[in-house]
Amino acid sequence: MKSAQPIAKGSISSWMMFLLAASCGLIAANLYYAQTLVGPISAATGISPSAAGFIVTITQIGYVAGLLFIVPLSDIVENRRLAVTGLILAGLALLGSAFAANAPLFLASSLIVGLGSVVAQILVPYATYLSSEEQRGRVVGNVMSGLLLGIMLARPAASLIASFWGWRAIFFLSAGVIALLTLVLARALPERRPERTVHYGKLLASLGTLFKQTPALRRRAFYQACLFGSFSLFWTAVPLRLANDFGMSQQGIALFALAGVGGAAAAPIAGHLADKGLTRPMTGLALIIGVLSYLLAYLVQGHSPIALTLLLISAVTLDMAVSGNLVLGQRVIYSLGSEARGRLNGLFMSIFFIGGAIGSSLGGWSYAHGGWNLSALIGALLPMIAFFYFLTERKNAAARQISSKA
């Protein structure tokens, strides 16, 4: 597992940036393959309809656990070895999902898939170690655009592949891709060996201290939790509306989901603007766009082509707000100190993924009790709350220091 040279600050190449972006996308996609395949997976493994939603939830539980307990290791363990180990774990778990004949095996495999997929959140801060301070926002934006493309393409890709070869095929295919990716990263990644200044137990204990003593982390995590909760609510409720109001098939819904891919374009743009010191105004804009995206789809009801078109536009603009604000938040987080970057990123990601889980739950509940109208109003409320909190942000000395870095 030797690399040609050790990690060198500011030496990231276009090839390495592309490799890290593609890797993050392929890894993060594993979290969402099952989302559009809940029906056939439930039937094949004997999971009851009332518990079918747990198929996706347990993968997210594994991911959050990995963010809290594995990602912090990147501050004390050689990063390339940690990433390769996580990918091996994820690849084996994907095979377990593909071969699963019963609910316990499938759910256990899904939990481990989520746990191993946190490698994506080891590679994102790893990319910042390869880059200079001046290009950090652009690097984060490009790598995160790859991750977001993986998330957005996972659902339609899984539906399309399942329609030809069955639901197990996507897990077999992903296991093969992850195996190949493991070999490539083991050869291509430079070594990064952080100084081991603290033991693992103290490292985990420091998470609470970091959260308490880092107001910028708390703010950025709350902003993104609200936006990602709104995003998850949207993509939970919209397939139901598309099927009920517009009579779309599973393939039609998968094609609609491709609209979200356009939102990933906001990630590198946001990173570039963050490098120019525009983090704060762009954050406010992202939150406003999140609110307006829902209002646009709420104001025009019915089953007309105009209503469907506005819903499609809302999907793109909401995804742009989420992906852009994510990069802005990570740009701030990575400027707070390199020695704790893995822990800060783990806390940030775990908090906003919890927001996403809450949003998914609200999406199903709101649509069942009030249809699209209630879902849209709750979806708009989440970024609105974040925006009002954003207005309380003070430009004190500490904030100015962070802003100057961001």
User: What is the per-residue pLDDT across 241-258, written as a single tens digit (0 to 9) for each?
Assistant: 888 888 887 678 778 878
Fold equal for 9-197 and 209-406: yes
Whole-number Å distance between alpha carbons of 179 and 93: 12
| 54-69 helix and 103-116 helix, angle to the nearest 10 degrees | 40
Whole-number Å distance between alpha carbons of 341 and 122: 10
Percent of the chain, pLDDT > 70?
A: 91
Whole-number Å distance between alpha carbons of 172 and 98: 6
How many residues make up the chain in this entry? 406
Q: 239 with 253: CB under 8 angstroms?
A: yes
| Statement: the pTM of the whole predicted model exceeds 0.85 | no
Whole-number Å distance between alpha carbons of 385 and 338: 31
**DSSP state letter for 261:** G
Stretch 161-172: mean pLDDT? 91
| Count of beta carbons in the 10 Å neighbourhood of residue 139 | 25
Whether 382 shows a pLDDT value over 70: the answer reads yes
Selected residue with higher pLDDT from 295 and 50: 295
Spans of all domains in the chain = 9-197, 209-406
Summarize the chain as % helix, strand, coil (round to 5): 85, 0, 15
Whether 397 shows a pLDDT value over 50: the answer reads no
Which tokens go with 95?
A: 């095979």
Whole-number Å distance between alpha carbons of 97 and 115: 14
Q: How many helices (H) and strands (E) does the chain have?
A: 16, 0
CATH 1.20.1250.20 fits 209-406, yes or no: yes
Helix intervals (H) in 300-340: 305-333
pLDDT tens digit sequence for 48-63: 755 666 777 788 889 9
Q: 253 with 39: CB under 8 angstroms?
A: no
Stretch 217-239: mean pLDDT? 90
**DSSP state letter for 260:** G
User: Which residue in this structure is represented by tokens 């198929």?
Assistant: 55
Q: Which top CATH class is 9-197? A: mainly alpha
Give 191's strand partners: 6
pLDDT tens digit sequence for 343-353: 888 889 889 88
pLDDT tens digit sequence for 87-145: 999 999 999 999 999 999 999 999 999 999 999 989 988 887 787 777 777 787 788 77
